[in-house]
Amino acid sequence: MRGRRAWLLSASLADLVFLYAPIAVLMLFSFNASRLSATWQGFTFQWYRLLIEDVALLAAVQNSLLVGVISTIIATVLGVSAAVSLERVPFRGQRVVEGALLLPLVIPEVMMGVALMLFFVLIKLPLSLVTVTIGHAAFNLPIVAVIVRARLHKLDPRLEEAARDLGATPWQAFRRVTLPLLMPAVLGGALMAFTISLDDFIVTFFTAGPGSTTLPLKVYSMVKSGVSPVINALSAILVLVSMALIGLSLALQREREGQK
Amino acid sequence: MADYSVEIQDVVKYHSATLAVDHLSLEVRPGEFFSLLGPSGSGKTSTLRLLAGFERPDHGDIRIEGRSMRDVPPNLRPANLVFQTYALFPHLTVFDNIAFGLEMRRLSRAEIDPRVSAALDMMKLRGKRDRLPAQLSGGEQQRVALARALVNRPAGLLLDEPLGALDQQLRQDMQVELKAIQEQVGITFICVTHHQEEALTMSDRVAVMNHGRALQVGTPQEIYEAPASAFVANFIGVSNGLTGRIVTITGARCTVSLPDLPTGPTILARRPAGAVEGSRVTVLLRPERLHLSQDVHLNGFENALPARVSKAIYNGNEMQYLLRLSDSVSWKARVPNSGGDRKRFLPGEVIFVRWNADEGVVLTE
Amino acid sequence: MSPSDPSTTLSDHSPISRRPTWLLLPPLAWLGAFFFVPLLLVLAISFATRGTYGGVEWTFSFANYVTMLDPLYLKIYLRSLALAVATTALCLLLGFPLAYYIARAPARWQGIWLLLVIIPFWTNFLVRTYAWMFILRTEGLMNTLLMGMGLIEHPIEILYSDTAVLIGLVYGYLPFMVLPLYAAVERLDRSVVEAAWDLYAPAWAVFRRVIWPLTKPGVIAGCILVFIPSLGAFITPDLLGGARTMMVGNLIQHEYLVARDWPFGSAISFVLMGLVLLGMLVYLKVERARQGDETVSWAGGDRQ
């Protein structure tokens, strides 16, 4: 038993090293004074300074935030209404609708990207931030719906019945009882959608037009033009931002548990 | 050499910083039904897991049939465990569950099939051989768990709260059945339980455990009639106590004065071994051995003390009374409801509690 | 079951309504317009032919699907399949011990370990892929270190090879494997494993006869979750593989944006989607059979 645990622990630690060493190395070398070499040449902040001064990068961040916020709002509103209507009284053809709702989660992203691009080109909607936002809302809608529905499924339906019994209309019962209990899941789903939107590359790649460069597109073009410590610096910042977002979602989860 | 089937020799086991088993030594004879009785956290389950080999003692040794088990992993030990939750393999049929151990020891099919069939017959599971565990009732699952362990003919069968998951009625039936099975197969059983009635009914010998130590080892009768300490007495249901001092000793009897009670009365009790005049003693009495009456006379009993009824609880076949002997001393009494002429007492009533000197357990301090 | 089990509620008595609430309309309309219509478009175009200057000529033929049988393209499909299978196998190999360790760790450690698995999963995929470019390239960290230690004289050319793509894919999708495996091991009753051990099973037999069959649903789920995105991967082969090691995802992108042969690109993506959905269908079949099983085989066990 003892030997087995030691073996499992070392295998697990090896996995952790595999998962974290690349990120750690990346962050470390964002402070390296040498532009080309992978040997340590001294400490510097100059790559971060270059980042801050990059106007195009700033524009890309703005675009990403804009797309993220708007597509998250759309996906959240639509996703919650999908979850709520699916979790209520069962109806004919429900299984088909449920399957259709999950399809965007399983098909390859490349496929979704080209399909949207084709569609926009054929209906002659110019590729822009608008088309990017529409696409993000489309793949985030099912994600929000799944998260909210899981929470809805765990709620005791007798709560809403109790509210009805105490004289609430169906809408009042939903508004006053179900929605507040659902809020942590709604926020969690929205946060997830926002993160995915900020990180999305493939769908954006196919649906973005000139002047609608988002942060991942900018990162991609930087990476494509070769390794540079500026990308290391940008990566380090992105890693820290995603950690902050995880912290936020954990805080939301804790609140959810507190409400139980 | 192997006079004992299972020996626990000065075993110490820590779970991180807590001492689970504290210099425990026990010997179990071949073919014996031995129970470890104690409250949760007393170290009895740890002891069982040490015997099965899931944990290693920090100190001391365990021997099975004379062989040291120090470096022997569970799969090589001649002992099998019946888990409290049965731990049946959910993906295997009853037959495959029972055959598992034999297959692992690489017995041939020609040996496995008849042995499993015999085990199925003995446990009355013949018709269930192709069922999955979840398709069985709780009692059936338990019999599969027993069969799965017994079919290996282990030197010791370890049972972890074997009746804990069963309901009251099944539990009492299984106590009898388990004992019968043990006598039939003649295998050493070591059983962990927190249920005193279970331990006393089934076992040849019982070890009462607390804080990782065996406080008393003996036959059920010895444990029941002569508990060696207040903890043992309490744990097996002797809950009424009085402390006092021995005034006189006459032969096997002594007189004890009771300064805790308002009138400072004396009672007659058995003389504990080694006690002298002036020794401080505790007299313990079982709730079901007390006789209650409004009559002040002894009427053939050797002791009588006045008490006030503070609560009377109707409990089906018996009445439970809470009695106050003084501000600081409360007793319990249980009186069967069987006789139609039984008088019931009401709260507030003053009555007399009577008993014979030999009913009391006397412990010196 | 949970209190939300519909069979225990009053609403059970209300009749099944024939129509969903109007609330379902907006999300369905959005997905219809921006997901299903585009998907059908791809299907339609896959039967058309490429116009002289790119664009689409609306004829009907299976020519694009026939072209795909060309060894040049078949090779890319096979490479994608092989890489996806290898990625799945490696993730399983690396992920199982980790998942098992986490599920058997004390509760407060479980949370921390899970968090450590999830953090990379939430980190930008491009960044994580770039990290391997930084490490694996000819003048990269790995070669610098190995040469510095005198272990090699000439840099190893790993970047822009199948090996690099495989490393990147395993790195990217390992968390997808660990999470469902963890859930499966966590559900596995500890005493059942001990029972096998107690019944003379050596370590390997405990794993093969008890742990593996009882965690198989989690294994299948994890494999599907890794296999699907690996098969359709785009970023990893694009950045770590380069032109020499194309996968289907890159081929699609190439046909659409470089060769501007939309009909052929559409046909390729449809076959890719077909493969993925086929895998999904198999998984759902297995899952449904298992759940049917479960209601029989676990219902009693859970109640103990």
A1 to chain B, any CB pair closer than 8 A? The answer is: yes
Alpha carbons within 13 angstroms on the beta-carbon side of residue B196 total: 16
- A241's tokens: 């931002």
Give the fold, CATH level 3, of C67-284.
MetI-like fold (1.10.3720)
A216 has a pLDDT exceeding 80: yes
A258 has a pLDDT exceeding 60: no
Nearest CB to A138 within list C11, C30, C140: C30
Q: pLDDT of B59-90, one tens digit each? A: 999 999 999 999 999 999 999 999 999 999 99
Q: Which residues of C touch A253 (CB under 8 A)?
A: none
Q: Percentage of residues in chain A with pLDDT exceeding 70?
A: 95
Q: Which helix (H) or strand (E) holds A47?
A: helix A46-53
Q: How far apart are CA B57 and CA B70, in angstroms?
A: 8
Q: Are B10 and B60 in contact (CB under 8 A)?
A: yes
Q: How far apart are CA B59 and CA B70, in angstroms?
A: 10
Kindly give, in sequence order, each residue whose CB lies less than 8 Å from that of residue B209, ignoring residues fewer than 6 positions away. Answer: B36, B37, B38, B42, B43, B44, B47, B215
Q: Which residues of B touch C205 (CB under 8 A)?
A: 104
Helices and strands: H and E segment counts in chain B:
8, 20
Of these ranges, A3-17, A87-101, C288-302, the one predicted with the greatest mean pLDDT is A3-17
In a domain, A19, yes or no: no
In this prediction, residues C26-37 reach a mean pLDDT of 95
In this prediction, residues C129-146 reach a mean pLDDT of 88
Task: Mutate one of C31, C76, C90, C288 to test the A interface: name it (highest A CB count within 10 A).
Answer: C31
Q: How far apart are CA B30 and CA A141, in angstroms?
A: 69
Name the residue among A254, A256, A231, A252 with its Cα closest to residue A32. Answer: A231
Kindly give, in sequence order, each residue whose CB lies less than 8 Å from that of residue B51, ignoring residues fewer than 6 positions away. Answer: B6, B8, B62, B64, B69, B79, B156, B158, B190
C2 to chain B, any CB pair closer than 8 A? The answer is: no
Instruction: Give the pLDDT score at B183.
Output: 93
C1 has a pLDDT exceeding 50: no
| Angstrom distances, CA of residue A35 to CA of A32, A49, A92, B348, C76 | 8, 14, 63, 95, 36
| CATH number of the CATH domain containing A248 | 1.10.3720.10
C239 has a pLDDT exceeding 70: yes
Name the residue among B297, B296, B298, B195 with its Cα closest to residue B237. Answer: B195
Which mean pLDDT values do the consecutive 10-residue runs of chain B (365 residues) have? 84 92 95 95 94 94 94 94 94 95 94 96 93 93 95 95 86 90 94 92 95 95 88 85 90 89 88 86 89 85 92 87 90 81 82 90 84
Q: pLDDT of A40-55, one tens digit each? A: 888 888 899 988 888 8
Pairing of strands C56-57, C49-50: antiparallel
Residue labelled with tokens 């649906």: A207
Task: Determine whether domain B240-364 maps to CATH 3.40.50.300.
Answer: no
Task: Mutate one of B85, B94, B136, B167 to test the C interface: name it (highest C CB count within 10 A).
Answer: B85
Name the residue among C285, C259, C265 with its Cα closest to residue A108. Answer: C265
- B336's tokens: 């069967």
Q: pLDDT of C148-182, one tens digit each? A: 888 888 888 888 999 999 999 999 999 999 999 99
Helix H, strand E, coil C: the string for chain C is CCCCCHHHCHHHHCCCECCCCHHHHHHHHHHHHHHHHHHHHHHHHCCCEECCCCCEECCCCCHHHHHCCCHHHHHHHHHHHHHHHHHHHHHHHHHHHHHHHHHHCCHHHHHHHHHHHHHHHHCCHHHHHHHHHHHHCCCCHHHHHHHHCCCCCCCCCCCCCHHHHHHHHHHHHHHHHHHHHHHHHHHCCHHHHHHHHHCCCCHHHHHHHHHHHHHHHHHHHHHHHHHHHHHCCCHHHHHHHHHHCCCHHHHHHHHHHHCCCHHHHHHHHHHHHHHHHHHHHHHHHHHHHHHHHHHHHCHHHHHC
Instruction: Give the pLDDT score at C12.
Output: 42
In this prediction, residues C183-204 reach a mean pLDDT of 94
Sign of the dihedral defined by the CA atoms of residues B292, B296, B299, B305, in that order: positive
Q: What is the CATH number of domain B6-235?
A: 3.40.50.300
User: Collapsing DSSP states into helix, strand and coil, what is residue A161?
Assistant: helix
CA distance B118 to chain C (A): 18
Q: Are C219 and B101 in contact (CB under 8 A)?
A: no
Q: Count B/C contacts: CB-CB distance under 8 Å.
A: 88
User: Collapsing DSSP states into helix, strand and coil, what is residue A259?
Assistant: helix
Banded pLDDT at C284 (limits 50, 70, 90): confident
Q: Please, what is the angle between helix A229-259 and helix A215-224, to 10°?
A: 150
Residue labelled with tokens 């995603």: A242
Pairing of strands B303-314, B318-324: antiparallel
Q: Percentage of residues in chain B with pLDDT exceeding 70?
A: 98
Domains of chain B, residue spans: 6-235, 240-364
C231 has a pLDDT exceeding 90: yes
B touches which chains (3+ CB pairs under 8 A)? Answer: A, C
Q: Which amino acid is at C211?
A: I
Q: pLDDT of C74-84, one tens digit each? A: 999 999 999 99
Range of the domain at A167: 54-259
For B164, the closest chain C residue by CA position comes to C304
- Quote the distance between the C-alpha of residue C193 and its chain's center: 29
**What is the ipTM score, two decimals?**
0.90
For A96, the closest chain C residue by CA position comes to C28
CA distance A226 to chain B (A): 53
Instruction: Give the pLDDT score at A54.
Output: 87
Banded pLDDT at C301 (limits 50, 70, 90): very low
Q: How far apart are CA B255 and CA B277, in angstroms?
A: 9
Instruction: Give the pLDDT score at C15.
Output: 45
C298 has a pLDDT exceeding 70: no
Please judge whether A94 and C101 are an interchain contact, meaning their C-beta atoms are less than 8 angstroms apart.
Answer: no
- pTM, rounded to two decimals: 0.84
Instruction: Give the pLDDT score at A173.
Output: 85
Pairing of strands B156-160, B79-82: parallel
- Phi, psi torsion values for B214, nearest 5 degrees: -90, 115
In this prediction, residues C104-119 reach a mean pLDDT of 91
Instruction: Give the pLDDT score at C286.
Output: 74
Banded pLDDT at A160 (limits 50, 70, 90): confident
Q: pLDDT of B131-183, one tens digit each? A: 999 999 989 999 999 999 999 999 999 999 998 878 888 888 889 999 999 99
Instruction: Give C5 or A39, the one with higher predicted confidence.
Output: A39
A36 has a pLDDT exceeding 70: yes
- B205's tokens: 């010998």
C297 has a pLDDT exceeding 60: no
Banded pLDDT at C5 (limits 50, 70, 90): very low
Instruction: Give the pLDDT score at B236.
Output: 86
For B73, the closest chain A residue by CA position comes to A1
C303 has a pLDDT exceeding 70: no
The structural domain count of chain A equals: 1
Q: pLDDT of A168-197, one tens digit each? A: 888 888 888 888 889 888 998 999 899 999
Beta bridge partners of B354: B291, B304
Residue labelled with tokens 């009391």: B360
Banded pLDDT at C18 (limits 50, 70, 90): low
Instruction: Give the pLDDT score at C19.
Output: 61
Domains of chain C, residue spans: 67-284
